[in-house]
Structure 1
Amino acid sequence: MSEKKKRRHLLRTIILTILTAAVVYTLYANFTKDKHEKIAVGDQAPDFVLMDMEGNKHKLSDYKGKGVFLNFWATWCKPCEREMPYMDNQYQAFQKQGVEILAVNVGQPEFSIKKFVEKYDLTFPILKDSNKDVMGVYDIYNLPATILINPEGKIVEIIEGELPEEKIIAMMESIKP
């Protein structure tokens, strides 16, 4: 066999080996990945730990015994922008009654978040989901999205889209301890 044919044969063997390894890896990854169930009303809310704008850690399970209004948002989202002042109004009214708001910003730089918070003078905790990990766990694809969690840590309601203030009031009433 000539030198040229040997090189061609070697190159084809290498390419075939790489393609076979890629197919085997893809099949392995698909068959062994965790079967992530979509969250639903009645499920225990998946726990998470995120940092707020001041560097404090917030662990969802630490809020057991309180109602949690978990909101996913971004600064570029116009419906988010419109509902945030309503959320802050109701946070002022319901915080003393055992209802917390955790507003999870998804994947934005701290500078943008800070400007937004200052513009609307928001007082509830703003958490940073820089890698969108929590967003993924909660199967959030559209913003804004709100998950109501009762004092026992169970999901009561899942809402996508903008919320008027009257709806926010009713939602907070529904998760009061």
Structure 2
Amino acid sequence: MQKTYDRFKGDGFEIIAVNVRESKGAVKSFVDRHGLTFPVALDQSAEVYRSWEIYYLPTSIFINREGRPERMYVGGMSERQVDMWIEDLLSGS
């Protein structure tokens, strides 16, 4: 995700990772170890997780420029697939 963020961040693209039920220390360690520069939110009570009706992790939600969910993918995604979906969203397809 960091590579994808680096590639698209200047095009109006943003990543916000939401970590569910992990400690602040564990999340900070992960962020530091992987050199993540995009925001990582903590959902320690799983409120966001439940409100979006997410049942499996990882789940990726792609939100369009109007702030509406456009696509959702459950499971790991290839870098190529992520890039294609982002390019579609940024182009307005």
From 34, 48, 71, the equivalent of 1:120 is 34
Q: Which 4+ runs in 1 deviate beyond 6 A?
A: none
Q: Which runs of 5+ in 2 are unaligned?
A: none
Q: Which runs of 5+ in 1 are unaligned?
A: 1-86
In structure 2, what is the equivalent of residue 145 of structure 1? 59
Task: Describe the superposition over 1:28-51 as per-residue Cα deviations: whole angstroms up to 9, x where unpaired.
Answer: xxxxxxxxxxxxxxxxxxxxxxxx
Does residue 88 of the first structure (1) align with residue 2 of the second (2)? yes
Shift of 1:142: 0.6
Per the normalisation by structure 1, the TM-score is: 0.50
Letter in 2 for 1:112: A
Higher-Rg member (1/2): 1
Q: The residue matched to 1:99 in structure 2 has which SS?
A: coil
In structure 2, what is the equivalent of residue 161 of structure 1? 75
Q: The residue matched to 1:92 in structure 2 has which SS?
A: helix
Aligned length: 91
Give the root-mean-square deviation of aligned CA atoms: 1.0
Per the normalisation by structure 2, the TM-score is: 0.93
Structure 1: distance between partners of 2:58 and 2:25: 20
Q: The residue matched to 1:136 in structure 2 has which SS?
A: helix
